[in-house]
């Protein structure tokens, strides 16, 4: 892969990262609004308040605007990373500070896109792997913010992985099917066991679907690696947060970001990690 191609790939990643910021911000709002409408319909309740009747923005419309002053942003205000630097991290209209998370997600998407392209190329496997990583980035931050993993993303990922592997893009189809079943059932069994022992729910059903999607894409063989990476990373971060008193023991920690991180690592370096481990035995 030439330097120019890699640079263009990174640039596309920046642009997609800007779009993912919108998805991360707006999709949960749409989901919660839909849940509210469905619950009120089921309960036959009427709520004429503005919050209940106002339809939330879609992913595409209206155009991006400042959440503080509501001014619609100009195209040059939406240039990934550069606009944040030129505007010195503040709104051009009201000067309210803009969270550095927005350019961070753009940079993360750019680096991940370029890394996957460099590792897997820009054939069908590389391009679809990039799409997978984009979805995982969106899921990571949605789960971090709201502790939900939307079916609108996880289920298409699951079926998309199975569809791709009908043609053996990543693994043979039988390995993908077993991976999807094993991914879902492994966390479901942990969930049921934890609930029986403690009477509490240790994780959400979105985690089951996300790991099932990982198995559908990469096959059942990588699931132990993904689970090990996810559990190790989650334990380190969770214990560190409790020790540093950033979270309490009773505060739930979203597990989706760790599954997503483990999936990306397994996608890019799974074979190398397994080979290195087996060589030590």
For the chain, give the mean pLDDT.
Answer: 87
Q: Do 172 and 280 reside in the same domain of the chain?
A: yes
Residues 138, 267 within the same domain: yes
Quick one: which of 245, 186, 232, 189 has its CA closest to 212?
186
The confidence score (pLDDT) of residue 49 equals 58
- Asked whether the predicted pLDDT for residue 53 surpasses 60, the reply is no
Identify whether residues 223 and 103 lie together within a single domain: no
SS (H, E, C) 3-50: HHHHHHHHHHHHHHHHHHHHHHHHHHHHHHHHHHHHHHHHCCCCCCCH
Q: Distance between CA atoms of 202 and 143, rounded to whole angstroms?
A: 15
DSSP 172: -
Map residue 97 onto helix, strand or coil. strand
Residue whose pair of structure tokens reads 């969106």 in the numeric block: 138
Number of domains in the chain: 2
Alpha carbon of residue 240 to chain centroid: 22
Q: Which two tokens stand for residue 185?
A: 């059932």
Q: Which residues pair with 72 in a beta bridge?
A: 65
Find the range with the poorest average confidence among 18-22, 63-67, 125-129, 261-265: 63-67
Domain edge (last residue) among 67, 87, 116: 116
What is the rounded distance in angstroms from the CA atom of residue 186 to the CA atom of residue 191?
Answer: 9
Which whole number is the average pLDDT over 153-161?
97
Closest to 76 measured CA to CA, from 89, 68, 66, 86: 86
List, for residues 176-186, the tens digit of each pLDDT value.
999 999 999 99
**Segment 198-228, tens digit of pLDDT:** 887 778 899 999 999 999 999 999 999 999 9
Question: Is the domain of 216 the same as that of 272?
Answer: yes
Q: Assign 87 to helix, strand or coil.
A: coil
Global confidence as pTM: 0.87
**Beta carbons of 234 and 255 less than 8 angstroms apart:** yes
User: What is the structure's pLDDT at 48?
Assistant: 55
Task: Identify any residues that bridge with 65 across adjacent strands, giving them in sequence order.
Answer: 72
- Tell me what pLDDT residue 51 has: 56
What are the pLDDT digits (tens) for 112-129?
999 999 999 999 999 999
Do 195 and 272 share a structural domain? yes
Stretch 243-247: mean pLDDT: 71
Task: Choose one of 91, 116, 141: the last residue of a domain.
Answer: 116
158 and 252 belong to one structural domain: yes
- In terms of domains, do 134 and 58 share one? no
Instruction: Give the number of other Cβ atoms within 10 Å of residue 10's Cβ.
Output: 19
On whether both 213 and 88 belong to a single domain, the answer is: no
Please confirm whether the linkage preceding 259 is cis (ω < 30° from 0).
no
The DSSP 8-state label assigned to residue 71 in this structure reads P
Residues 219, 176 contacting (CB under 8 angstroms) = yes
Whole-angstrom distance, CA of residue 275 vs CA of residue 69: 54
Q: Which of 52, 85, 116 is at the close of a domain?
A: 116
Is 68:94 a contact under the CB 8 Å cutoff? Answer: yes
177 and 236 belong to one structural domain: yes
Q: Are residues 108 and 152 in the same domain?
A: no
Can you give the residue range of the structural domain that contains 272?
123-281
Residue 80's pLDDT is 77
Residues 93 and 139 in one domain: no
Position 43 confidence tier, pLDDT thresholds 50, 70, 90: confident
Say whether both 17 and 37 belong to one domain: yes
């Amino acid at each position: 892969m030439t330097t120019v191609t890699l640079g263009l790939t990174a640039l596309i990643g920046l642009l997609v990262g800007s779009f993912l910021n919108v998805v991360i911000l707006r999709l949960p709002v749409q989901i919660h609004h839909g849940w509210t409408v469905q619950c009120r319909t089921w309960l036959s309740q009427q709520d004429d308040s503005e919050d209940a009747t106002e339809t939330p923005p879609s992913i595409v419309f209206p155009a991006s605007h400042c959440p503080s002053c509501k001014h619609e942003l100009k195209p040059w205000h939406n240039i990934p990373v550069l606009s944040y630097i030129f505007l010195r991290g503040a709104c051009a209209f009201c000067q309210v500070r803009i969270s550095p998370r927005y350019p961070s997600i753009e940079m993360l998407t750019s680096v991940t896109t370029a890394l996957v392209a460099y590792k897997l190329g820009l054939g069908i496997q590389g391009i679809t792997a990039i799409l997978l990583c984009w979805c995982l980035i969106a899921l990571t931050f949605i789960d971090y913010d709201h502790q939900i993993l939307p079916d609108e993303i996880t289920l298409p990922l699951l079926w998309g992985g199975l569809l791709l592997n009908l043609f053996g893009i990543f693994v043979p189809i039988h390995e993908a099917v077993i991976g999807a079943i094993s991914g879902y059932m492994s966390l479901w069994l942990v969930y049921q066991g934890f609930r029986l022992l403690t009477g509490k729910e240790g994780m959400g059903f979105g985690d089951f679907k996300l790991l099932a999607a990982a198995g559908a894409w990469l096959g059942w063989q990588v699931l132990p690696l993904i689970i090990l990476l996810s559990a190790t990373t989650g334990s380190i971060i969770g214990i560190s947060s409790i020790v540093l008193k950033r979270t309490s023991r009773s505060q739930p920690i979203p597990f989706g970001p760790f599954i997503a991180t483990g999936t990306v690592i397994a996608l890019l370096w799974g074979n190398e990690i397994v080979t290195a481990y087996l060589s030590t035995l």
